Amino acid sequence: MDFSLSMEQEILRNSVRDFAENEIKPVARELDEKETFSYDTMRKMAALGLFGMFVSEKYGGQGMDYISYAIATEEIARVDGSHAATVAAGNSLGIGPLYYFGSEEQKQKYLPKLCSGEALWGFGLTEPDAGSDASNSKTTAVLDGDQWVINGSKIFITNASTKLTSGVTSLCRTGTREDGRPELSCILVEAGTPGFEAREMHGKLMWRASNTSELYFDDCRVPDENMLGPRGNGFHQMMQTLDGGRLSIGAMGLGGAQGCYDLALKYSRERTQFGKPISNFQVNAFKLADMALEIECARLILYKACWLRDQQKPFGKEAAMAKLHCSEVMYRCANHAVQLHGGYGLMKEYDVERFYRDQKLLEIGEGTSEVQRIVISRLIGAL
């Protein structure tokens, strides 16, 4: 067993950490405050190679392994959740389905610009009445000649209404299966297609500088060739995409927890009360010790899950465990970090305030914590 990272992975971690500290940290608070998606940091993240990380160089990707992708996401999340969301959704949810299920023609057409970060792509699964119960999608697609006519709506879709967004993958009911259940298929809808509209959502508690949208399809016509993979495979494709996506949410939880810990340790050593640094009170030192321990365990479970994926071994159970555990570790670390900052931790000029809010999404997006427990229970044979 070898726990060391490769030299390339260490270099990647250092370069993404420097980038996040120098380019994202100085603007993160203001972007959050103003609920603004930054095209400037997006361009810089693209230039650093943060999109298409696990995609083969043949399609313009970086050809890296999944551990490297997790490390990069972790380092962005250590500084800011919104930017990490743009990267994680861009890679796992935007690029992932096209790369793993797209035809050669679709890959050639869409991936190079997504991998260079010139374009973004949305993952349209969630609907107003179909969240955890995603197979209950109501959006329909009816074949008319050689075109699909799509009607319905989606909600909470990341990266779907930026000026760079070139399209979305949308899960649609395309018929009824022999067993009477809905036939679900993924259809690619390009931005600008008549009858398709993506409207940006505002007023989020967290990830306020990340782009979130509602999607509307009103007799939206797309060519039959925009079907992703075989007709009827849509739900399976979406669930497989989420297995990978959960690793990136896990990386966001791990990075966010590390960010909370780093801030809390620094502050606790500097802040004095009763004539000594507050870290010298054992109750506070124990909080920091617990954070360090939990982060270490979270990193081990996340990297193991990524390693399984890189070895092409089954990783669904470990991905659900990593997502669940890392998001809950960040919950506890954000709580401790705010507590250690006292009243200042509740003020916007202290980054722990933003971490505390950003954490909550990790327990809800890409399958809530309850759904992760259902997935794990099934995979260990308990349910």
Ligand X SMILES: Cc1cc2nc3c(=O)[nH]c(=O)nc-3n(C[C@H](O)[C@H](O)[C@H](O)COP(=O)(O)OP(=O)(O)OC[C@H]3O[C@@H](n4cnc5c(N)ncnc54)[C@H](O)[C@@H]3O)c2cc1C
Residues designated as active site: 366
Closest CA to 297 of 337, 268, 257, 348: 257
Contact 327, 250 (CB under 8 A): yes
Q: Restricting to residues 132-151, which ones interact with ligand X according to CB under 6 A?
A: 132
Secondary structure of residue 8 in the 3-state scheme = helix
CB closer to ligand X, 345 vs 367: 367
Among 212, 284, 359, 372, binds ligand X (CB under 6 A): 212
Q: How far apart are CA 197 and CA 217, in angstroms?
A: 7
164 belongs to the binding site for ligand X (CB under 6 A): no
93 belongs to the binding site for ligand X (CB under 6 A): yes
Q: Which stretch binds ligand X (CB under 6 A): 13-21, 40-48, 120-128, 185-193?
A: 120-128
Site string for ligand X, 49-88 (x = CB under 6 A): ----------------------------------------
For every residue of 220-260, which 3-state class applies, written as one string?
EEEEHHHECCCCCCHHHHHHHHHHHHHHHHHHHHHHHHHHH
Q: By rule CB under 6 A, what count of residues binds ligand X? A: 22
Q: Which stretch binds ligand X (CB under 6 A): 18-26, 121-129, 247-255, 269-277?
A: 121-129
9 belongs to the binding site for ligand X (CB under 6 A): no
How many of the other CB atoms lie within 10 Å of CB of 382? 9
Among 24, 64, 67, 89, binds ligand X (CB under 6 A): 89
CB 23 → ligand X: shortest distance, Å?
23
Q: How far apart are CA 102 and CA 110, in angstroms?
A: 10
- Identify the sign of the CA torsion 217, 238, 35, 21: negative
Q: Which residues bind ligand X (CB under 6 A)?
A: 89, 93, 123-126, 131-132, 156-158, 204, 207, 212, 361, 364-368, 370-371
